[in-house]
């Protein structure tokens, strides 16, 4: 087990210098007394491991095999504080569920609550602020979990869909990375998961949540999938932390959601616009159409990572009540596939600006337009946040 004291007088390499790398550097200077700290942003084969006692790897860096000298912020934090942590993963919904649970626990318990991890707050920034009764809601990406050999006391695995195959190559590898949220749990731990998550061998108590058994929560945010997310929040808050049921329901109802997740942008000339830029898989686009009342037009497409779009293509062919504006590389692949292009309700344009312009022309008053790309933003935008922000600006500008 690596602790802050075991890093004293050690030679440490920070591999990757993004948000977590800079946070790790700050942590080592603030809490530890290492012999040396080196920053490196190259390939693993260019690292001489004999020169270091410990390597902190950033999440986005690909490392094919486990390596005992390599650790991460997530693993380091869990080694000391795993009993305080609710770890939340899943292909979709983990940011919303994490933030909703953080909001509920903050309102319904007297304990300090932190929201850390993939949601945007590096855990080592709060390492020395932890107390015995601090609750940590930790959003865990597959990259943060991939080589981690410690699991949190309470694990949540919402769902599993095809994603990140440009990184993991197979669904088996992708699932294996995410499974680490529960694989190393102990007797007395809790594992909540959706019913489409494959079996994971764990010593924790297993609680399966099905979309068919979700309560009809009163929410300020759109979508049946968010009622599914709320079910996890309600169960954990009431079953594990003994929160008052009425207070939990009130806090869930007051939760206003996150940007770029079926976020209402506004109404222009009688047409409502929604930003679901977080959507990077077919299931998310389909869910968006099913979630918004009066949905008529959807904007799909982005970076083509080669994922399987057959489910979305079948949906398009079977649901002529919607209008589909395809854009960019993956949108072109969808549009050119299996007779989609000859349908009168499908369109192809080059980019988001053209897509928004066309949506304003073809969508009737009283209906809704949704940006739910079912594709990554990279290659066209810096990230999904920038894509969503550009969409909002295009929607709200007076002339295009």
* Terminal Cα-to-Cα distance of the chain (whole angstroms): 58
Residue pair 155/190 in contact by the 8 Å Cβ criterion: yes
The average confidence (pLDDT) of the chain is: 94
Q: What is the pLDDT of residue 400?
A: 44
Q: For residues 100-127, give the mean pLDDT.
A: 95
Q: How far apart are CA 326 and CA 371, in angstroms?
A: 11
What H or E segment, with its residue span, contains residue 132? none
pLDDT at 148 over 70: yes
Q: How confident is the model at residue 364 (pLDDT cuts 50, 70, 90)?
A: very high
Instruction: Give 60's pLDDT tier (boundaries 50, 70, 90).
Output: confident
Q: 303-328: per-residue pLDDT in tens?
A: 999 889 999 999 999 999 999 999 99
* Strands laid side by side in the 70-71 sheet: 36-40, 11-15, 54-57, 70-71
Q: Pairing state of beta strands 323-327 and 295-300?
A: parallel
Is the model's pLDDT at 377 over the cut of 60?
yes
* Alpha carbon separation from 357 to 127, 232, 375, 387 (Å, rounded): 48, 39, 20, 16
The per-residue pLDDT for range 211-268, each reduced to its tens digit, is 988 999 999 998 889 999 999 999 999 999 999 999 999 999 999 988 899 999 999 9
Whole-number pLDDT of residue 398 = 58
For the segment 34-51, the average pLDDT, to the nearest whole number, is: 96
Residue 396 has pLDDT above 80, yes or no: yes
Q: What integer is the mean pLDDT of 134-161?
A: 96
pLDDT bucket at 74, cuts 50 / 70 / 90: very high
CA separation for the pair 169, 162 (Å, rounded)? 10
pLDDT of the residue at 346: 96
Q: For the chain, what is the radius of gyration of the CA atoms?
A: 22
The predicted structure's pLDDT at residue 105: 98
pLDDT tens string 265-305: 999 999 999 999 999 999 999 999 999 999 999 999 999 99
Beta strand pairing call for 263-268 and 271-275: antiparallel
In this prediction, residue 378 has a pLDDT band, given cuts at 50, 70 and 90, of: very high
Give mean pLDDT, residues 176-205.
97
Burial annotation 10-49 (CB, 10 A radius, 16+ → b, else e): bbbbbbbeebbbebbbebbeeebebeebeebeeebeebee
**For residue 399, what pLDDT band results from cuts at 50, 70 and 90?**
very low
> 316: which 2 tokens?
């398009």
DSSP 93: S
3-state DSSP assignment of residue 91: coil
| pTM summary value | 0.85
Check pLDDT > 90 for residue 348.
yes
């Amino acid at each position: 087990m690596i602790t802050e004291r075991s890093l004293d007088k050690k030679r440490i390499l920070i591999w990757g210098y993004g948000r977590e790398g800079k946070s790790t550097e700050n942590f080592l200077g603030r809490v530890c007394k290492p012999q040396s700290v080196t920053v490196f942003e190259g390939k693993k084969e260019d690292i001489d491991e004999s020169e270091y006692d410990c390597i902190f790897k950033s999440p986005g860096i690909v490392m094919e095999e486990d390596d005992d000298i390599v650790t991460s912020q997530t693993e380091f934090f869990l080694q000391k504080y795993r009993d305080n942590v609710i770890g939340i993963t899943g292909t979709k919904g983990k940011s919303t569920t994490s933030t909703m649970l953080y909001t509920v626990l903050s309102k319904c318990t007297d304990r300090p609550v932190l929201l850390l991890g993939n949601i945007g707050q590096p855990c080592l920034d709060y390492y020395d602020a932890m107390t015995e009764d601090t609750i940590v809601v930790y959003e865990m990406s597959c990259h943060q979990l991939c080589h981690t050999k410690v699991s949190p006391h309470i694990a949540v695995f919402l769902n599993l869909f095809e994603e990140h195959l440009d990184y993991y190559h197979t669904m088996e590898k992708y699932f294996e990375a995410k499974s680490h949220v529960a694989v190393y749990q102990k007797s007395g731990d809790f594992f909540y998961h959706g019913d489409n998550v494959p079996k994971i061998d764990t010593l924790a108590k297993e609680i399966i949540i099905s979309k068919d058994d979700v309560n009809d929560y009163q929410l300020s945010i759109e979508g049946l999938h968010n009622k599914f997310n709320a079910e996890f929040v309600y169960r954990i808050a009431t079953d594990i932390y003994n929160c008052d049921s009425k207070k939990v329901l009130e806090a869930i109802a007051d939760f206003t959601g996150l940007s770029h997740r079926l976020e209402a942008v506004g109404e222009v000339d009688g047409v409502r616009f929604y930003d679901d830029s977080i959507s990077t898989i077919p299931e998310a686009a389909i869910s968006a159409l099913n979630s918004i009342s009066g949905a008529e037009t959807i904007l799909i497409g982005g970076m083509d990572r080669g994922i399987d779009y057959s489910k979305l293509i079948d949906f398009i062919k079977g649901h002529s009540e919607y209008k589909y504006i395809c854009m960019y590389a993956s949108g072109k692949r969808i549009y050119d596939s299996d007779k989609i292009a000859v349908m009168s309700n499908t369109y192809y344009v080059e980019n988001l600006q053209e897509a928004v312009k066309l949506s304003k022309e073809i969508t009737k008053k009283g209906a809704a337009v949704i940006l739910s790309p079912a594709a990554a933003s990279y290659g066209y935008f810096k990230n999904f946040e920038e894509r969503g922000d550009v969409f909002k600006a295009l929607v709200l500008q007076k002339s295009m």
